[in-house]
Amino acid sequence: MAETFKAILIDRDEDKKQSLSHVDLTTDDLMEGDTIVRITHSTVNYKDALAVTGKGPVIRRWPMIPGIDFAGEVVSCDTGAFKPGERVILNGFGLGETHYGAYAGMARVKADWLIHQPETLSPAEAMSVGTAGYTAMLCVIALERHQITPDRGPVVVTGATGGVGSVATAILGKLGYHVIASTGRSEEADYLKSLGAAEIIDRKELSDPGKPLGKERWVGGVDSVGSMTLANVLAQTKYGGAVACCGLAGGMDLPASVAPFILRAVSLLGIDSVMAPKAIRELAWQRIASDLDREKLAAITHEIGFSDIEKATSDLLAGKVRGRLVINIGS
C-alpha cells in the first residue's frame, strides 16, 4: 500500500468562494514531475498568507496545495540529478500557485527547480531563511552589483520587522552597512537594532504623500512595501543610488515621478525570486550560508507545527508576526 501523508488542500466553488481542508494523500495524488521529495520543513511568507486566507490572487490552479518553498530529502529522482537522501531546497517556480506546494508531507517536482541545501545550514535554518530571506539576499546582491557599498552611505530597509526586512537588516548590518530600518512598530526598535539596524524611522515618514524629490538621505534601499513608500524612498535616494524592489505589502501602485531617475540618476532594481536562474539562486544561498549571522537568524525565528499554519497566516497579514516562521511539517 502506498504511503500516505497529510496535506492542506485549497479549493473554491462556482461562486469562487475558497475553502480549505486537511487531507491524506499518496504520491499518486501529486502532480507531474521527475523528482519526489519528502518535505521536512516549510515556512510562512507573505504570499503564503495571501494564498491560505484568500486575501490575494496567488493560487492560479484549483485545487491547490499551498506553500511556495520547502526543505526536504530526495526520495527518488528520475533524471539522476539528485540521489536519494540528499537534502534540497525549492523556492518558487509556481510552487503553491500552479503546482502542488509545500504544505504537505511529500512533493513531486522537477529536478531543475531544486538546489542542494548548503551543508552548513540545517533544514530548519534553510526555511527560517525561506523565500523571504532568499529574496532579501537577491536584493543585497543587486545593490552590490550596482556598486552600493557601505562606504557610500546609509541604506534603508522598509517593512523592517517582516520576513524580507528582518533578514535584509541582519545581512546588511553584518556586511558593514549603516542600516536605517523603517517600521510602524516602534516597540520593535530594540529588536531591529539587535539585528544590525543603526537607526529606526517611523514608516509614516515614508507612507504619507511626499515631494517628487526630497532630501537625500540614503544611497540604497531594500523595499518590500511598494506604493507610496517606494515612491518616497526613491525621492530621498542620493545621487547615483539604487533601490531594490521586491514586494507589494503596501500596494501594487507606484505614485512616483521620473525626477529621481533623471535628476539624480537613481536606479530602481526589480527583484524576482520565483523564476530567478539557477546560478543566481545558488549564489544567493551560498551567500546566505556565509553572510547571515546564525544567532541573529535564530533570534528572528519561531517554529510552528503543521496544525498552526492557518492561524499563522492570519496573524502575519494582521501584522502580528515579526521575523520568520518555520513550519515543522512532521509535527
Q: Is the pLDDT of residue 17 over 80?
A: yes
Partners of 74 in the beta sheet? 37
Percentage, residues of the chain above pLDDT 90 = 95
Q: What is the mean pLDDT of residues 260-283?
A: 96
All domains of the chain in start order, with CATH: 4-117+300-328 (3.90.180.10), 130-270 (3.40.50.720)
Q: What is the mean pLDDT of residues 170-184?
A: 97
Q: What is the mean pLDDT of residues 83-102?
A: 97
Q: Is the pLDDT of residue 314 over 90?
A: yes
pLDDT, one tens digit per residue, over 193-227 is 999 999 999 999 999 999 999 999 999 999 999 99
Q: Is the pLDDT of residue 144 over 90?
A: yes
Q: Is the pLDDT of residue 98 over 70?
A: yes
Cell of 267: 536606479
Q: Is the pLDDT of residue 302 over 90?
A: yes
Q: How confident is the model at residue 186 (pLDDT cuts 50, 70, 90)?
A: confident
Q: Is the pLDDT of residue 1 over 70?
A: no
> Distance between alpha carbon 189 and the CA centroid of its chain, in Å?
22
Secondary structure, 3-state, the chain: CCCCEEEEEEEECCCCCEEEEEEEECHHHCCCCCEEEEEEEEECCHHHHHHHHCCCCCCCCCCECCCCEEEEEEEEECCCCCCCCCEEEEECCCECCCECCCCECEEEECHHHCEECCCCCCHHHHHHHHHHHHHHHHHHHHHHHCCCCHHHCCEEECCCCCHHHHHHHHHHHHCCCCEEEEECCHHHHHHHHHHCEEEEEECHHHHCCCCCCCCCCEEEEEECCEHHHHHHHHHCEEEEEEEEECCCCCECCCCCCCHHHHHCCCEEEECCCCCCCHHHHHHHHHHHHHHCCHHHHHHCEEEEEHHHHHHHHHHHHCCCCCCEEEEECCC
Q: Is the pLDDT of residue 2 over 90?
A: no
Percentage, residues of the chain above pLDDT 70 = 99
Q: What is the pLDDT of residue 322?
A: 86
Q: How confident is the model at residue 280 (pLDDT cuts 50, 70, 90)?
A: very high
Mean predicted lDDT score pLDDT of the chain: 96
Report how far residue 39's alpha carbon sits from residue 100's, in angstroms, rounded to the nearest whole number.
Answer: 12
Residue 71, amino acid: A
Q: What is the mean pLDDT of residues 100-129?
A: 97
Q: What is the mean pLDDT of residues 151-167?
A: 95
Q: What is the pLDDT of residue 323?
A: 87
The predicted model scores a pTM of 0.92
Q: Is the pLDDT of residue 168 over 70?
A: yes
